[in-house]
């Protein structure tokens, strides 16, 4: 029986991917084999020693101590692209909300008092405050052209906008998906100087913390509208407030409310709703549940943010050995020597590395005795050894 410890509300459709006769899933499990979560800020101490894997039912992994997990040989899986459409839709909604002052206008209309004739008079008198602008012909800057950024960029093109994008590490896959009408910026500064509206879709990490700061906002076009559905810390909030006060920034639409943003006329702060659709929650939970199951049951790794992709079909009737080790020379030699010394014949083998880590999967004929596992586990640099029968 495998045990999955959950944090946050995980879609039932995802949890149903774990067969009941093989898996127990609960937010209250003492000795879990894996952890599954959404935005919960996971502490290393919440991951017991025996945990084999962590699954993030979403895109961003800044709430997970990924480096600590890597040091312990634990893959962290996420769900790339599974919530991209939901975030794209809300971002595009954000363009309209800001361009037409929809939230401010709705609040004005909601609070009108008097007879219908008086309300009508107040409407005609008050509506000029909410004169907006249309999107065609405006330039949208998209920072981060991953799963979400590409969808936002392509939709903005379809709406008649000019789009300029910046991503220093765009993948070949995303480049193929991106409309050829998206213009490339060579830096964030260039993008900011060319855009009327800017939307950020980069992950939060040390390089992107405070990516949108005071000097970048000061160099941007007056009247800029900034959208942030990535993470709060990617944008320096104080700099945004100052730029709004100077009326250099015309609006800030984000998914991250705070005290400082409260009560500001030109701020629309939503309660982290980007991925909050039934579809996206199901997609994320199903994708991550399937990846966790595959890892637990076969050792295969798909979509881990800290491990290489390793998928080897299960062959024969023997055992599978899975070894996580430091990416240093001669590991394969030592693993195969330990197996050969025990008289075990290797049927198939796959080894791949990523940064500091390497992962090896070996199918052998017959059973792997515990002594072999102990020998391999004792090799310097080996972090974890597991046998799947």
Ligand X SMILES: O=C(O)CC[C@@H](O)C(=O)O
Ligand Y SMILES: NC(=O)c1ccc[n+]([C@@H]2O[C@H](COP(=O)([O-])OP(=O)(O)OC[C@H]3O[C@@H](n4cnc5c(N)ncnc54)[C@H](O)[C@@H]3O)[C@@H](O)[C@H]2O)c1
Residue numbers 81-110 binding ligand X by CB under 6 A: 83
- Rounded to the nearest 10 degrees, the angle between the axes of helix 84-99 and helix 278-298 is 150
Binding-site partner at residue 38 among ligand X, ligand Y, none, CB < 5 to 8 Å by type: ligand X
Distance, in Å, from the CA atom of 255 to the CA atom of 166, rounded to the nearest integer, reads 21
Binding-site partner at residue 39 among ligand Y, ligand X, none, CB < 5 to 8 Å by type: ligand X
Choice between 303 and 325, CB closer to ligand X: 303
Distance, in Å, from the CA atom of 81 to the CA atom of 283, rounded to the nearest integer, reads 9
| φ, ψ at 250 (rounded to 5°) | -90, -25
- CB of residue 275 to ligand Y, shortest distance in Å: 4
Choice between 147 and 368, CB closer to ligand X: 147
Closest-by-Cβ residue to ligand X is 58
Rg of the chain taking only CA atoms, in angstroms: 25
Q: Among residues 58, 146, 165, 318, which is the contact residue for ligand X, using CB under 6 A?
A: 58
Interacting residue ranges for ligand Y, rule: CB under 6 A:
58-60, 80, 83-84, 87, 143-149, 166-170, 174, 201-204, 207-208, 229-231, 255, 272, 274-275
Closest CA to 40 of 69, 5, 85: 5
Closest CA to 38 of 376, 269, 285, 294: 285
Q: Residues 6 or more apart from 69 whose CB is under 8 A from it?
A: 44, 47, 54, 75, 76, 306
Q: Among residues 55, 60, 99, 141, which is the contact residue for ligand X, using CB under 6 A?
A: 60
- Give how far Cα 191 sits from Cα of 71, 313, 359, Å: 37, 45, 39
276 binds ligand X (CB under 6 A): yes
- Give how far Cα 170 sits from Cα of 175, 176, 267, Å: 7, 10, 30
Choice between 58 and 75, CB closer to ligand X: 58
Distance, in Å, from the CA atom of 56 to the CA atom of 332, rounded to the nearest integer, reads 30
Binding-site partner at residue 204 among ligand Y, ligand X, none, CB < 5 to 8 Å by type: ligand Y
Binding-site partner at residue 85 among ligand X, ligand Y, none, CB < 5 to 8 Å by type: none
Stretch of residues binding ligand X (CB under 6 A), selected from 22-30, 234-242, 273-281, 373-381: 273-281
Choice between 79 and 321, CB closer to ligand X: 79
Choice between 145 and 361, CB closer to ligand Y: 145
- CB of residue 243 to ligand Y, shortest distance in Å: 20
Choice between 75 and 274, CB closer to ligand X: 274
CB-based contact 95:226 (threshold 8 Å): no
Choice between 53 and 84, CB closer to ligand X: 84
Binding-site partner at residue 293 among ligand Y, ligand X, none, CB < 5 to 8 Å by type: none
Choice between 142 and 249, CB closer to ligand Y: 142
- CB of residue 205 to ligand Y, shortest distance in Å: 7
- CB of residue 64 to ligand X, shortest distance in Å: 11
Q: Among residues 36, 54, 59, 292, which is the contact residue for ligand X, using CB under 6 A?
A: 59
Residue numbers 22-41 binding ligand X by CB under 6 A: 38-39
DSSP 8-state class, residue 129: G
For the record, the structure tokens of 389 come out as 């029968």
- CB of residue 65 to ligand Y, shortest distance in Å: 16
Distance, in Å, from the CA atom of 27 to the CA atom of 52, rounded to the nearest integer, reads 17
Tell me the three-class secondary structure of 276-316, residue by residue: CCHHHHHHHHHHHHHHHHHHHHHCCECCECCCCCECCCCCC
Instruction: Please report, as ranges, the residues that interact with ligand X according to CB under 6 A.
Output: 38-39, 58-60, 83, 274-276
């Amino acid at each position: 029986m495998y045990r999955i410890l959950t944090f946050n509300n995980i879609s039932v459709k995802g949890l149903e991917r774990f067969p009941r006769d093989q898996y127990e899933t609960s937010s209250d499990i003492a000795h879990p084999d894996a952890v599954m979560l959404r935005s919960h800020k996971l502490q290393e101490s919440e991951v017991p020693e025996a945990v084999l894997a962590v699954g993030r039912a979403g895109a961003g992994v800044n709430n997970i101590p990924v480096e600590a997990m890597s040091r312990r040989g634990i893959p962290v899986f996420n769900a790339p692209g599974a919530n991209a459409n939901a975030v794209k839709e809300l971002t595009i909604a954000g363009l309209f909300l800001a361009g037409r002052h929809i939230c401010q206008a709705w609040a004005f209309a909601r609070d009108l008092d008097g007879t219908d004739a008086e309300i009508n008079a107040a409407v005609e008198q008050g509506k000029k405050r909410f004169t907006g602008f249309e999107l065609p012909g405006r330039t949208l800057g998209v920072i981060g052209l991953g799963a979400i950024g590409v969808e936002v960029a392509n939709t903005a093109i379809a709406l008649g906008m000019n789009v300029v994008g910046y991503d220093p590490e765009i993948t070949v896959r995303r480049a193929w998906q991106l409309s050829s009408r998206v213009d490339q910026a060579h830096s964030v500064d260039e993008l900011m100087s060319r855009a009327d509206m800017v939307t950020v879709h980069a992950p939060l990490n040390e390089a992107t913390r405070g990516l949108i700061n005071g000097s970048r906002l000061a160099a941007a076009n007056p009247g800029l509208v900034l959208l942030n559905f990535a993470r709060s810390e990617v944008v320096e909030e104080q700099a945004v407030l100052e730029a709004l006060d100077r009326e250099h920034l015309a609006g800030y639409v984000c998914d991250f409310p705070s005290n400082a943003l409260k009560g500001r006329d030109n701020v629309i702060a939503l309660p982290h709703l980007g991925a909050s659709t039934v579809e996206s929650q199901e997609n994320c939970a199903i994708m991550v549940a399937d990846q966790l199951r595959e890892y637990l049951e076969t050792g295969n790794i798909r979509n881990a943010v800290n491990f290489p992709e390793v998928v080897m079909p299960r062959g024969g009737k023997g055992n599978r050995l899975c070894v996580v080790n430091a990416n240093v020379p001669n590991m394969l030699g030592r693993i195969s020597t330990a197996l050969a010394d025990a008289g075990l014949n290797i049927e198939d083998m796959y080894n791949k590395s990523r940064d500091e880590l390497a992962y090896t999967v070996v199918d052998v004929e017959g059973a792997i005795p515990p002594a072999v596992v102990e020998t391999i586990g004792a090799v310097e640099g080996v972090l974890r050894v597991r046998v799947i029968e």
